[in-house]
Structure 1
Amino acid sequence: MYGKLTKSGKHLLDPMERVSEVLFGLIMVLTITCSFSIAGAGRTEVRQMLIGALGCNLAWGTIDAAMYLMARFSEHGQGIVALRAVRAAPDPKRAYRIIANAMPPLLASVVSLAQFEEMRQKLIQTPELPSRPRLSKDDWLASLGVFLLVLTATLPVVLPFIFIRETTRALRISNAIAIATLFAAGYAFGCYSGHRPVAMGMLMVIVGSALVGMTIALGG
């Protein structure tokens, strides 16, 4: 779920991560709104539903942000272990394999031996890293971004219940907004993953609706 941060720090979360977090938040809030019974529902019931939806995504956003930090902590640790392994490698070929394992397979397949050797030399000359992994400022900011994305995904779906007193109409508008958001997220997913955006948008609506239905059916 979690990719690496850019060195510049300008984009703490890559586009795919942002789309994923919005989807997670949207699916969680839909499990609340779609299971809401409008029969005889008054403002008190609507208020309780809103509190439940916001509370659910507050909890999920906090958990997801914590999991992000754990993933980043692990990545930092793996980097330290890999650097030490390269430096301690008994021969260059062993070091090349370690470097290749740390790279995407497609990228590693086009790197020449000369380039591997250049990377090995640079890694050997790299200043010693901390003895233990540590979370950076960017890691904490990115985890905050994860939390805010999950929480923000709640707002468009619940706003109709706040501003529209007729519960049936509010639910219909809320569902329409949710479908449009699912399509937009799928469209963005298609653009960034190299698939057909419109087809991915439609597929995301179907898959997202199925996941919501399954979650509700299982008591989530």
Structure 2
Amino acid sequence: MLTKRPSEEQAARTREPVLDTVDRVSELCFGLFMALTFVGTVSAATSGEDAGRKMLYTALGCNLAWGLADAVMYLVRTIADRSRRHALALAIKRERDQAAGVRALRERVSASLDPFISDTDLESIRKRIAESDSLPERARFERDDFLAALGIFIIIVLSTFPVAVPFVIFSHVPTALLVSRVLTLAMLFFCGFALGGYAGWTGWKGGLSMMTLGVLLTMAIIALGG
């Protein structure tokens, strides 16, 4: 029987997808909501022979813009979070007072985990940070950050097509709108099913919950003029 070497096991543990399930589902739902509310608002005012194509191009342009904005903001959020963690690590490395270093770590511990982490645990972490020689001079972007941003952009853009393409296929607007909404509900169910499995919930309950949430949220966005 073949066994992995320790270095291989460590590499397998450290390799993570650039976007986790929550990120992918959230961005897909965001793109669906943007396209659905836009299509629902504009479809009634769009008519003519090329109405379907105009609908697709306009919805695609909307999600191209929002996909770009969301990808850029992901990069901003990523470097801001990394810089904050880097500043904490530098402060701990330079701090001569061990108790002050432990207090700094304690302030960053989640309130839900705080009762389970002792000062001894934090001192062990503080000591490893203080003795580390691999701390960079400043926080930097990594290749996976840009891959994740690209993934966000692609997910949001692709989410346009199930919502808008029916208006190109069907010339009858009510039929196209019905097909568009059915496809959107199916994708929302899939998103909820995947998210439910990731969170340890029942898959079909997660799917139905996401469908319900999507309908209510879309109604609210349209009612508010979105």
TM-score by length of 2: 0.83
Give the direction of change, closer, same or farther, for the CA distance of 1:37–1:162 in structure 2 (3 Å limit): closer
Structure 1 position 153 matched with structure 2 position 124: no
Matched, 1:188 2:189: no
- Alignment partner of 1:55 out of 49, 61, 67: 61
Secondary structure of 1:135's partner?
coil
CA 1:86–1:64 in 2, change beyond 3 Å: closer, same or farther? same
> In 1, are the aligned partners of 2:43 and 2:173 still within 8 Å (CA)?
no
Deviation at 1:63, TM superposition (A): 0.6
Question: SS of 1:34's equivalent?
Answer: helix
Q: Secondary structure in 1 aligned to 2:43? A: coil
Question: Deviation digits for residues 175-219 of structure 1, max 9, x if unmatched?
Answer: 101111112222222222344433332232222222222222232
AA aligned opposite 1:191: G
Aligned equivalent of 2:84, options 78, 89, 99: 78
Q: 1:97-149, CA deviations, whole angstroms, 9 ceiling, x for partnerless residues?
A: 32233344444532344432322221012225344322111111111111111
2: CA distance between counterparts of 1:85 and 1:127? 14
Query: Which TM-score applies when normalising by structure 1?
Result: 0.85
> Do the aligned partners of 2:71 and 2:153 also contact (CA within 8 Å) in 1?
yes
1:66 maps to 72
Match of 2:182 among 169, 176, 190: 176
Q: What does residue range 1-150 of structure 1 map to in structure 2 within 5 Å?
A: 8-37=14-43, 41-127=47-133, 129-150=135-156
CA contact (8 A) 2:105 2:122 kept: yes
Structure 2: state its 5+ residue gaps. Answer: 1-11
Checking the alignment, whether the CA contact within 8 Å between 1:29 and 1:57 is kept in structure 2 is yes
CA 1:95/1:40 → structure 2, altered by over 3 Å: closer, same or farther?
closer
Give the Å deviation of 1:28. 0.1
Mapped to 1, the partners of 2:124 and 2:114 lie a distance apart of 14
User: Compared with structure 1, are the counterparts of its residues 143 and 39 closer, same or farther at alpha carbon in structure 2 (3 Å cutoff)?
Assistant: closer
The answer to whether the 8 Å contact 1:38/1:168 transfers is no
| Identity %, equivalent residues | 35
Alpha-carbon offset, residue 85 of structure 1: 2.0
CA RMSD of aligned residues (A): 2.5
| 1:164 alignment partner AA | F
Shift of 1:59: 0.6
| 1:69 to partner: Cα distance | 0.3
> Helix, strand or coil: the match of 1:37?
helix
Pair 89,208 (structure 1): closer, same or farther in 2 beyond 3 Å: same
